[in-house]
Amino acid sequence: MVKGKETSYTVSVVDGDGNQCCWWWWWLEHKGTTTTFLIVGLFVVLVRAAVSLHSYSGFANPPKFGDYEAQRHWMEITINLPIQEWYRNNTSNDLSYWGLDYPPLTAYQSFIHGLFLGFVHPESVSLVTSRGHESYLGKLLMRWTVLSFDLLIFFPAVLYFVIVRYGQPSRSRKSDIGWHIAMLLLNPCLILIDHGHFQVCSVLTLTVICVVFQYNCISLGFTIGAVAGVLSGKDLVACVLYCLALNHKQVLISDLSMVTLLHMSAYFVPAFFSHLLGKCLRHKHPLFEVSKLGFYVLGTFAAVWWPYLYSKDSILEVLSRLAPFERGIFEDYVANFWCASSIIIKWKRLFTSESLRLLSLIATVITCLPSIDQ
Amino acid sequence: MGKQKLSSKGVQNSGCTKATLWWFYLVAACIKVLLFPSYRSTDFEVHRNWLAVTHSLPLSQWYFDETSPWTLDYPPFFAHFEHFLSMFAHLIDPKIVHLQEGLNYSANTVVYFQRGTVILSDLCLLYGVYRLTRNLDSRKQKLIWLSAIWSPMLFIVDHVHFQYNGFLIGILLISLSYLEEGRDLLGGFFFAVLLCLKHLFAVAAPVYFVYLLRHYCRGGIGRGFTRLLIMGGMVAAVFAAAFGPFFHLGQIQVIRRLFPFGRGLCHAYWAPNFWVFYIMSDKGLAFILRRLGFNVQTPTATFTAGLVGDSSPFSVLPQVTPLVTFMMVLLALSPCLLKAWKDPKPQMISRWVAYAYTCGFLFGWHVHEKASLHFVIPLAIVAVQTLEDAKHYFLLSIVSCYSLFPLLFEAQEYPIKVLLLLLHLILMWSGFSAQFPDGAETARAPTGHHTEKKVDQHKSNGGFVIGWIERMYLVGLVIVEIWGQFLHPLLLGDKLAFAPLMLISIYCALGIMYSWIWQLTFIVKSP
């Protein structure tokens, strides 16, 4: 071995006690971010594939089953009914049985997946008769739909974010990149929610692993992409991506306990748009910039909501599904202020549903104000 | 992570090393736990039955019980190991160890318990790897840990298909570590224990015998003879502890159970060994001779079958008996034995033992494809020594891992086995590339006839670069997989259903034959 070259490979990260740490990345220091990403990515996909082996929410649990059945039902609805009927209550689309309550982008995603399932395993998505359908092949295909969109949307978003965030890293930052990628991709909440099964069981025992079946990776991927867009200065890209995230999932889903990460696309709105708006106002021609921003936002929303824009009624129909305020200010055991304080202050007894809605809106806006202002 | 400073290669904090080793083990354990609900083979029920037999029956009945078709066919120490585990099984769920009611029991308790015991028994492998690598420099250590502790083959065979190979190979590695340190008596002791746990490891017994005879029992007639007696006595004591109680009861049945030569030359899924070529040549010759007009009898038995069965039909070529395979294994081993006789070097023992298992795999009787674990893991230990070792190991581990794919035939495990292999591939590639960068030292000895370029020690060899033949071979693996998984069912449907598996066997056999030749050449040409 050439002596001169040898020293360049003996750089190791050592802590105060002289212990060798971060050995893990010594060989990745020779490769780029992409190799790191590939290795972590493969490992992370392996974890997801392994979690997918486990049971899903609502397994063998009639009559309503769980989120798995909800997603399957949406595929059934979207491929068998015309687009205008998706949010409308009728005999084939009983909204009380897992009616669509996410914005149209989720519906389009269900449609694409429904086509795939319909092609390979038609009985799992046939209209009405497939309710409660559970099979080995069905589960496999459903799991693969989640994994495929995870890979298509979430992973590239994380890679984009990391590349933008770290730019051209020095040697010491490369290990940071690796850990950061791992932290983003290995988020246990996301894996459990998306790739595991759905219902929250009241007792977490050794024999039951309760995880969820959802597609949060898509909206989270768009959100991360939007953050990356902001970091790299591509505000309009960020704006479009964030609008897509909003159009996929709009609200805090409070019916999941033991899980703290969910996606709260709408709650990011004040932060996102105040940042973008602030940037626009600093430009030389603020009005032009704001209208460009507005144009992109409106354009994205219009593109997604296009099939429903023909009448005010249809828009309201969809909107009413998206804002299920009749569910109450909190549900089950969500880890937030209202639920925790309800031990002392019985909110649901003291106030009506409408006043609680207003109260929570005011509280959220007030607490967001510092970040909006910044 | 604290401040950074340059440190010399020699500085290693053993506490941090152990912590890192535990990290490796725990990360692997996390994945293994996630794999709990995956496909289980009949081996799962086999081991559960052994738990039941050893728990519910007295020693005298262990090798006689036939309540279940999965009778005890491992040596007594393994039976005692199962007996030990059954005590905990009984506490967790008594039905696991019930002889009749536990038959084909598949509740969560038994699955979690048994899978959990495999994960815990992997601690043995951890210890073996630790002992073998504790004096190496940090980077080589991590590479070996990556290849051994995170071996995709162990995940596939032990933690999905279900077996206890990690535990057994751990004991082999412990034995090798003692031999490398020069503590031959302990090395021999652990090997004897291993033989009484799984007799399949006896293929390396000739190597051990020759090595210990020449290395341990050297130094004149008197001393040599005394040492021979000590070693022999120790081995005899181990065997007596294992088999003694059974022979005392007059049970030769044990031996019959251990060596079921009623089974055929090949397992139903042919292990990718030499006999694959023998069988194909036989079929090919039969076909040609029939075309030429000769009357060639069609054998009554067949090679194709999805279930385990006897198969040994040869229409043209001579019949192969267990004795023939035994002679062939010995013949293949002989160059290695000669080397060990002439100059028993401790640093070569791992290679010789791995070579022995390769020969056993290639020429043995009724070899299972899982047996490739026995030589791939020990070779991982030596893979970091030279560039040529690294290249050889890279190819071998990929081929052997791929040859295990037919073990997991259900769709939900497909992404998992592919990802395990890909992850292993990319980790090895990046690890070896960094370990052997451009301009690093070249191989000490010339390589086998399949390698591409002439390695000249005076010129830079371009680092860890796979030659074009090896690359084509690996691409071929992908093609074989695409054909077997997608194109064959699409184009041929159910016709020639055995063809994809046969193709995998033959293709992997090529790779493993190459490995054997490479290892043989290396051993013969080593100083």
Mutate to test the interface with A, among B4, B109, B138 (most CBs of A within 10 A): B4
Q: Does B476 touch chain A (CB under 8 A)?
A: no
Long-range contacts of residues B204-207, Cβ cutoff 8 Å, at least 24 apart? B204/B353, B204/B356, B204/B357, B204/B360, B206/B330, B206/B333, B206/B337, B206/B356, B207/B333, B207/B336, B207/B337, B207/B340, B207/B349, B207/B352, B207/B353, B207/B355, B207/B356
Query: B454 pLDDT exceeds 50?
Result: no
In a domain, A151, yes or no: yes
Provide the pLDDT confidence category of residue A25 given band limits of 50, 70 and 90. Answer: low
Residues sharing a CB contact under 8 Å with residue B500, sequence separation 6 or more, in sequence order:
B483, B484, B485, B488
Chain A residue numbers with beta carbons less than 8 Å from the beta carbon of B12 are 20
Task: Tell me how close the Cα of A296 comes to any Cα of chain B, in angstroms.
Answer: 39
Closest CB from B138, B412, B433 relative to A53:
B412
**pLDDT-wise least confident of A8-17, A81-90, B190-199, B259-268:** A8-17
**pLDDT-wise least confident of A227-236, A303-312, B160-169, B302-311:** B302-311
In a domain, A5, yes or no: no
Per-residue exposure over B88-125, b if at least 16 CB sit within 10 Å of its own CB, e if not: ebbeebeebbbeeebeebeeebbbbbbbbbbbebbebb
Question: In this structure, are A182 and A267 located in the same domain?
Answer: no
Query: A294 pLDDT exceeds 70?
Result: yes
Chain B residue numbers with beta carbons less than 8 Å from the beta carbon of A8 are none
Average pLDDT score, chain B: 86
Tokens of residue B424, six digits: 């292993």
Tokens of residue A214, six digits: 């959802």
Q: What burial class does residue B294 get, using C-beta atoms within 10 Å of its C-beta: 0-12 exposed, 13-18 middle, 19+ buried?
A: exposed
Residues sharing a CB contact under 8 Å with residue B417, sequence separation 6 or more, in sequence order:
B152, B156, B160, B404, B405, B408
pLDDT at B262: 65
In a domain, A186, yes or no: yes
In a domain, A224, yes or no: no
pLDDT at A208: 26
Query: A161 pLDDT exceeds 80?
Result: yes
Chain B residue closest in CA terms to A207: B108
pLDDT at B452: 38
Provide the pLDDT confidence category of residue A257 given band limits of 50, 70 and 90. Answer: very low
pLDDT at B372: 93
CB distance A54–B37 less than 8 Å?
yes
Averaging pLDDT over each range in A44-53, A189-198, B306-315, which range is the top one? Answer: A44-53
pLDDT at B22: 93
One-letter amino acid for residue A157 of the chain: A
Percent of chain A with pLDDT over 70: 73
Mutate to test the interface with A, among B139, B419, B438 (most CBs of A within 10 A): B419
Mutate to test the interface with A, among B17, B24, B34 (most CBs of A within 10 A): B34
Question: In this structure, are A246 and A352 located in the same domain?
Answer: yes
| Residue pair B154/B124 in contact by the 8 Å Cβ criterion | no
Averaging pLDDT over each range in A248-257, B21-30, B58-67, B219-228, which range is the top one? Answer: B21-30
Chains A, B: CB contacts within 8 A come to 125
**Tens-place pLDDT, residues B402-434:** 999 999 988 889 999 999 999 999 999 988 988
**Tens-place pLDDT, residues A309-348:** 777 777 777 777 776 655 555 655 566 777 677 777 777 7
Question: In this structure, are A149 and A193 located in the same domain?
Answer: yes
Residue with tokens 């004991």, as numbered in its chain: B171
Question: In this structure, are A53 and A202 located in the same domain?
Answer: yes
Query: B100 pLDDT exceeds 80?
Result: yes
Task: Tell me how close the Cα of B92 comes to any Cα of chain A, in angstroms.
Answer: 13
Write the ipTM.
Answer: 0.85
The mean pLDDT value for B170-176 works out to: 96
CB distance B9–A10 less than 8 Å?
yes
- Strands A20-21 and A13-14 turn out to be antiparallel
CB distance A47–B426 less than 8 Å?
no
**Where among A162, A195, A210 does a domain terminate?**
A210
Tokens of residue B33, six digits: 């736990």
Question: In this structure, are A249 and A344 located in the same domain?
Answer: yes
Nearest Cα neighbor of B284 from B487, B502, B485 is B502
Task: Tell me how close the Cα of B10 comes to any Cα of chain A, in angstroms.
Answer: 10
Chain A residue closest in CA terms to B19: A21
How many angstroms separate the CA atoms of B114 and B108, rounded? Answer: 10
How many angstroms separate the CA atoms of B237 and B193, rounded? Answer: 10
In a domain, A222, yes or no: no
Query: B236 pLDDT exceeds 80?
Result: yes
Provide the pLDDT confidence category of residue A169 given band limits of 50, 70 and 90. Answer: low
How many angstroms separate the CA atoms of B376 and B371, rounded? Answer: 9
pLDDT at A182: 82
Question: In this structure, are A184 and A265 located in the same domain?
Answer: no
**Where among A210, A244, A261 does a domain terminate?**
A210
**Chain B residues 90-109 within an 8 A CB cutoff of chain A:** 108-109
CB distance A28–B423 less than 8 Å?
no
CB distance A14–B2 less than 8 Å?
yes
CB distance A10–B112 less than 8 Å?
no
The residue segments making up the domain with residue A326 are 234-373
Chain B residue closest in CA terms to A24: B142
In a domain, A287, yes or no: yes
The number of distinct structural domains making up chain A is 2
Question: In this structure, are A266 and A324 located in the same domain?
Answer: yes
How many angstroms separate the CA atoms of A268 and A290, rounded? Answer: 19
Chain B residue numbers with beta carbons less than 8 Å from the beta carbon of A56 are none
Question: In this structure, are A114 and A259 located in the same domain?
Answer: no
**pLDDT-wise least confident of A248-262, B24-38, B369-383:** A248-262
Nearest Cα neighbor of B155 from B284, B258, B57, B28 is B28
Instruction: Work out the angle at residue B34's Cα, subtended by the Cα atoms of residues B132 and B44, and round it to the nearest 5 degrees.
Output: 80
Tokens of residue A282, six digits: 């600093």
Closest CB from A39, A49, A136 relative to B416:
A49
Q: Within a 10 A sphere around the Cβ of B439, how many other Cβ atoms?
A: 14
**Where among A176, A210, A244 does a domain terminate?**
A210
- The sign of the torsion formed by the CA atoms of A5, A10, A13, A18 equals negative
CB distance B426–A35 less than 8 Å?
yes
**pLDDT-wise least confident of B13-27, B115-129, B299-313, B483-497:** B299-313
- Residue with more model confidence, A33 or B345: B345
pLDDT at A5: 40
Task: Tell me how close the Cα of B4 comes to any Cα of chain A, in angstroms.
Answer: 5
Half-sphere exposure of B325 (CA within 13 A, CB side): 23
In a domain, A299, yes or no: yes
Nearest Cα neighbor of B204 from B362, B386, B360, B10 is B360
| Residue pair B289/B316 in contact by the 8 Å Cβ criterion | yes
Chain A residue closest in CA terms to B30: A47
Nearest Cα neighbor of B152 from A148, A42, A31, A51 is A42
In a domain, A10, yes or no: no
Averaging pLDDT over each range in A99-103, A170-174, A265-269, B58-62, which range is the top one? Answer: B58-62
Q: Within a 10 A sphere around the Cβ of B309, how many other Cβ atoms?
A: 15
Query: B198 pLDDT exceeds 90?
Result: yes
Question: In this structure, are A105 and A148 located in the same domain?
Answer: yes
Provide the pLDDT confidence category of residue A46 given band limits of 50, 70 and 90. Answer: very high
CB distance A53–B415 less than 8 Å?
no
Question: In this structure, are A347 and A301 located in the same domain?
Answer: yes
Question: In this structure, are A53 and A176 located in the same domain?
Answer: yes
Question: In this structure, are A79 and A201 located in the same domain?
Answer: yes
Percent of chain B with pLDDT over 70: 89
pTM for the complete prediction?
0.83
For residue A68, give the H/E element and its range.
Answer: helix A67-80
Query: A218 pLDDT exceeds 50?
Result: yes
Mutate to test the interface with B, among A5, A11, A23 (most CBs of B within 10 A): A23
